[in-house]
Amino acid sequence: MFRSIDEAAKYIRDNGVEAVDFRFTDLFGVWQHITISAGEVGEETLENGLGFDGSSIRGWCEIHNSDMSFVPDVTSAFVDPFFRRKTLVFCCDIVDPITTEKYNRDPRNIAGKAVNYLKQTGIADTAYFGPEAEFFIFDDVRFDSSPQGAFYFLDSKEGTWNTGADEMPNLQYKPQFKGGYFPVPPMDSLHELRSEMVEVMEKLGIVVEAHHHEVATAGQVEIDVRFTDMLKQADIMQLYKYVVRNVAVKNNKTVTFMPKPLYGDNGSGMHCHQSLWKDGKPLFSGSGYAGLSQEALWYLGGIIKHAKAIAAFTNPTTNSYKRLVPGFEAPNKLAYSSRNRSAAIRIPIVNSPKARRVEIRFPDPTANPYLAFSVMLMAGLDGIENKIDPGQPLDKNIYDLDPVELSTIPSMPGSLEESLAALEEDHEFLLKGDVFTPDIIEIWCDYKRNNEIKPLSLRPHPMEFSMYYSY
């Protein structure tokens, strides 16, 4: 929005801005903010930022070394569409107030370092990313976990389980399980809500390419944004999630990006289209398989080689691995193909060399976009630098293969614990250019084990009562 600090400060003074919101992303992908009265924000604040207690942010510094500053990136500014008072928002970088160096655990800084490393290699100067985030919209969500009981309950007026509900009247038009892909209204009851989400995004400068209902019965949808350079795209994905959640709440609905909230139906992924460019020319277009260049095939080789480690960031929750199972269009097998959507990597069919790209299909939308995009880029670059062969393409339906042939195809991890163990064994490629640091790998694995895997493993599951109560 702005090209300089002076331009931003002038806009605040001259355009009726009442408050300024400083936002940053924690290690695990949650947007945080503080709001300052506009009269307190001038050139000095925009240049040096504001201090805060970094020890209160998950996975960051200890209390004895907790002073941090968030410094706004003025080029990221937008006016918040949901606040009553006119509020200008900046995405911020986290800075050590003593050394003035960017904080190594700040996800936005990590993504920036990944882009810088790309340029330092000389391979390319731009990485374009185009994520396709899917999510669920529900009408009612309830859950609880206590020593003597646990439950969750989700409901959607679209849910096929409500065909017999007394809705006074029940007008039906409810997609069946796996029957929600592309129907027109009234079966697609969420068209107008998605259109409102798109309208808000477009007013904020996000280029939206398409939106539609997704496969699952109950409120699963997708809104696709146009590709752009990697760091900007990560900023956009944070804003994307913010918009869809707030528009949903405004309409008395709720959104979740959980990959697998519903048992027995398709889960939500975040397919990531990627390409590298140099001097304005696409590097992934060539005469190889599906029109790919040799560099693109090596990029795929890096993704496949490091996929299990990558998954610790691209599929970062215990729920992620309930999606990566056969039978629900989830790509749990590490193969690539030009048309096969059951493969982990797809090569879209395009007419223009400029549109040539690869689509990594296993990530899901619980991922922190700054980290997820960075690990995929670093893995792909490692593939190019080391000329890693991706093997032969698989232009067959993976789910129709006989067990012997299927066993020869590597799989995605089956659990978060498996992906964390892979990350601990295979992360040297992430340390290049100081993009990631060993302490980030360590804190990520420790936090996930102690705060997500362990609490879940200690609690009885309702299904266990069904299986074992009468033993």
359 is in an annotated binding site: yes
212 is in an annotated binding site: no
442 is in an annotated binding site: no
Q: Considering only CA atoms, which of 258, 273, 265, 272 is closest in space to residue 181?
A: 265
Count of all residues that appear for the chain in the document: 471
266 is in an annotated binding site: yes
271 is in an annotated binding site: yes
191 is in an annotated binding site: no
- Reading the block at residue 342, the tokens are 């059951």
40 is in an annotated binding site: no
- DSSP assignment letter at 285: B
464 is in an annotated binding site: no
364 and 260 in contact (C-beta within 8 Å)? no
205 is in an annotated binding site: no
267 is in an annotated binding site: yes
3 is in an annotated binding site: no
361 is in an annotated binding site: yes
Could you give the 3-state DSSP secondary structure of residue 427? coil
- Burial string for 250-268 (b: 16+ CB within 10 Å, else e) reads eeebbbbbbbbbbeebbbb
Query: CA torsion angle for 256, 258, 261, 266 (degrees, to 10)?
Result: 110
What does the angle CA 46 – CA 21 – CA 243 come to, to the nearest 5 degrees? 135
Distance between CA 208 and CA 198 in Å, rounded? Answer: 7
275 is in an annotated binding site: yes
199 is in an annotated binding site: no
The burial class, CB within 10 Å (0-12 / 13-18 / 19+), for 146 is: exposed
Give me the active site residues, please. Answer: 53, 132, 134, 214, 222, 271, 341, 359, 361
In DSSP notation, 355-407 reads: G--EEE----TTS-HHHHHHHHHHHHHHHHHTT--------S-GGGS-HHHHH
Question: Which residues fall in the annotated binding site?
Answer: 132, 134, 209, 214, 222, 266-267, 271, 273-275, 323, 329, 341, 354, 359, 361
Question: Which residues fall in the annotated binding site for ATP?
Answer: 209, 273-275, 341, 354
Question: Which residues fall in the annotated binding site for L-glutamate?
Answer: 266-267, 323, 329, 341, 361
